[in-house]
Structure formats: structure tokens, C-alpha cells
Structure 1
Amino acid sequence: MHPFLQTDRLLLRPFTDTDVDDLFALDNDPEVMRFINGGKPADREAIRTRTLPRLLHVHPCSGTRGFWAAQEKTTGTFLGWFELRPLDDHDPAVVELGYRLNRSAWGRGCATEGSRALIDKGFADLGVERVTANTMAVNTGSRRVMEKPGLSFLRSYFGDWPESIPGSEHGEVEYELLKETWEAREVGRSDFPRSQL
């Protein structure tokens, strides 16, 4: 299957039905899921019947999926997934950025690399006007990833979740990046040789 996007180290490709085992392993790691569901064990059947169909969905407004499997380019190792999903199925203007990576990919800049590439693709080719991203306020690692490709803190809020998990008492945060901000940054970057970026 052709990749949707490639970076120096990553290949982002559409999910297939054969990804269930990798998704189960990812969602069954309590550390990976700590800020998602408190680290509860995954259910393989739920991944097959509920998660995978969501990952396979094609958005009519962009003609693309909103989620992509991330593989290490040199080895083909499954690292997790990235999301750049329109919030309205019929309007590509506002998208949500997200990522869920195996612990083996943590601390290596993979989340930033994949996020930056998707943001650039969204603004340059997919009609995106605003990128938004959300996480728990206490998830400092994910917040740093949001900031590195240029998203800025927008607000704190408290979601109405069916179950609270440790840290949820501190609420959620939303970050955003607007196309005009991204364009200004790209103009500034073009003023310098690539080796200085």
C-alpha cells in the first residue's frame, strides 16, 4: 500500500484490517494509555469492531482518512498512529491533531516529526485553516509535542467524561495553530539556509 506521507524516519500509511494485532499491543500498554483511559487493558474485539472502522474512515471533505499507521522507515516496525482528522466530515477547515506511539518511539522526536509533517501537508494541500489538539493538563510530554511544531496554548477546560482517571481533576488543555501563523513561520524559515533550521 502506498504511503500517505514520508519523513526522514517515518512512513505514514493507511490502516488495513491486518493492523489489529499491532493496535491491540499499542492499546494494551498501560503507560501508552495512562492519559487516555487510566491504563486499562485493551479489548481485542473492541479494537476490531470499533477502533479499526474509525481508523479506516475516509472523510468526504478531503478524500483522505484521518488516521495513519506510523512505521519506522528503515525497519518497517509499527510505531503507532497519527491523526489529522476533520472535525466536520464535510469541511476540511478545522482538523484535530493526535498521536499514539509505542514506548519504543518515545523521546526520539518521532511524535514531533510526524506531527509537523501532517500539519504541513494539511495546510499546504488539504484545505486546512486551523489545527487543534487536546490532552490532559497533566500530560506534559504530549503538551511539549504540540508546542514543537508551532501549536500554542488556547484554553483549559473540564470535559464531562463518564469515568475520571488520575490527573483528570486538573482538566484538559486545547492548543491550536492557524494557517496564517503557519504561513508566516514558513516565510521566516525560507529566509535561512536549511542547514540553519
Structure 2
Amino acid sequence: MAAPILTTDRMLLVPLADRHLGLEIELDSDPEVLRFLFGRPRPADEVRRAHAERMELGRRVDGLGYWVAFGVDGGARGSRAPAAEEDGEFLGLMMLPPAHGPDQPDDPTVGELGYRFRRQVWRRGLATEASRRLLAHAFDTVGQSRVLAQTMAVNAGSRAVMAALGMRHTRTFYPSFEDPLPGADQGEVEYEMTAVEWRARNRPGDESR
């Protein structure tokens, strides 16, 4: 099962393809978007290598991978998902590959959630909305046992998304960096959700979520 097209109320999530490379280069040209990842914009050659790595990771586990988010009116509240990619505008990149970090489990049933949106559409709840859809896909369709998410401890915005999704903080850790970013001394944090927790939060008829 290849990664499918997914939809939310405001977004069309299209599986990442080579035609999207220019959008990835555009996204990573903004240093604010990469503030808690690299602390600088990424040159095009670096993004091309990252794109190739994403495409390879997306083939490891059926149904997992990367998605490009498209919307209308900048994904404004009350807007609707476009019917097709060409009818929308680029909003950001959603990530749900198999866990693959050096300190993550080598287990095909464990995925890693990530998100990266254009600065112009921040603070509209898009990351939370798209992430919730990917969690549903991971647990209800792909059959993942667990989904992880990591960020810098000082990244309050990303941590708020993880908390809003119902993910639990499981650890703070301190990786070594040759050129640490500001705030790295406070460490990295990992959140997770299990399939059991997802189903408990999403019982039919439960309107509390």
C-alpha cells in the first residue's frame, strides 16, 4: 500500500513526489521555519539530498511516508480543502516515516510524526489538524503500534501541537552537536502515542476529543 492521498477539513495531503522538490526548497529557504532544526536556511543541494532520503524512507513501510499540504486562502479557519493539488496553494510538509533516528527503535510498527509549515500560515491550527489526520491513518489504516515525535525542549509551538494531539512527553535527552543551536542546553524532548491510547481517545461517540 503506497501512501494515499488524505484530506482534512482544510487541507489536501498529497504524497510527496519529485514534482514537489521546488516546494521543499522554498519551504527550507526560510530560516524561521528551520529555527529549531538547523538554525539557518538550507541550500538547494542540501534539500535535494533530503528529498531523496525522504523518498527512500517513504518506501520502507507501506502506507507511511511524507505528504505535501495544500489549501485555499492560506488554510484560513473556515476554508475548505481543495479538490485537487492544482486547485490549492502550498502550505507545508507533513511527515510520518518509520522511526529511523539513531536513538529510535528499529521497528516497522513505530512511526515518527513531523510537520513543517510556511511561516505565513502559522498559528492557524494547521499542524494540529494535519497531524491528527496522520495519526488516524497510522493507527486505523496502517496498523502502527506507536508514533513518536521529537523537538527541541524550547520549541513551545511544536510541543503545544503534540500536547493538543494527546501525545505524552516520555523523555528529555541531550544529543551532542558540533554546532548546537540556541537553547540546545535544555535538551530535546520526545512525545509518543500508542495505538491503545489513540483508540481510547477516539471511541465512537466520544465528543470530548
Q: Give the alignment's TM-score, normalised by structure 1.
A: 0.88
Task: Detail structure 1 runs of 4+ shifted over 4 Å in the superposition.
Answer: 88-91
Match 2:133 to one of 117, 121, 129: 117
Match of 1:69 in 2: 68
**Counterparts of 1:168 and 1:47, CA distance in 2:** 23
Match of 2:91 in 1: 79
* TM superposition shift of 1:119: 0.3
Change (3 A) 1:191 1:67: closer
1:177 aligns with 2:176: no
* TM superposition shift of 1:132: 0.6
Paired residues of 1:134 and 1:174 also in contact (CA < 8 A)? yes
- The AA in structure 2 aligned to 1:11 is L
**Counterparts of 1:26 and 1:81, CA distance in 2:** 8
Match of 2:52 in 1: 53
Higher helix share: 1
> Any unmatched runs of 5+ in structure 2?
72-80
**Counterparts of 2:95 and 2:149, CA distance in 1:** 10
Match of 2:205 in 1: 190
Match of 1:37 in 2: 38
Paired residues of 1:134 and 1:173 also in contact (CA < 8 A)? yes
Paired residues of 2:16 and 2:67 also in contact (CA < 8 A)? yes
Change (3 A) 1:191 1:21: closer
Question: Structure 1, residues 40-93: CA drift from partner, whole Å, max 9, x if none?
Answer: 232112222x11112222334x32342111111335111111111112698431
Match of 2:119 in 1: 103
* TM superposition shift of 1:162: 2.8
Paired residues of 1:55 and 1:65 also in contact (CA < 8 A)? no
- The AA in structure 2 aligned to 1:16 is A
Question: Structure 1, residues 131-175: CA drift from partner, whole Å, max 9, x if none?
Answer: 110000000000000111110111111012232011111110010
Match of 1:93 in 2: 109
- Paired residues in the alignment total 189
Paired residues of 1:14 and 1:65 also in contact (CA < 8 A)? no
SS in structure 2 at match of 1:87: coil
SS in structure 1 at match of 2:109: strand
1:151 aligns with 2:152: no
Change (3 A) 1:167 1:127: same
Match of 2:10 in 1: 9
Match of 1:18 in 2: 19
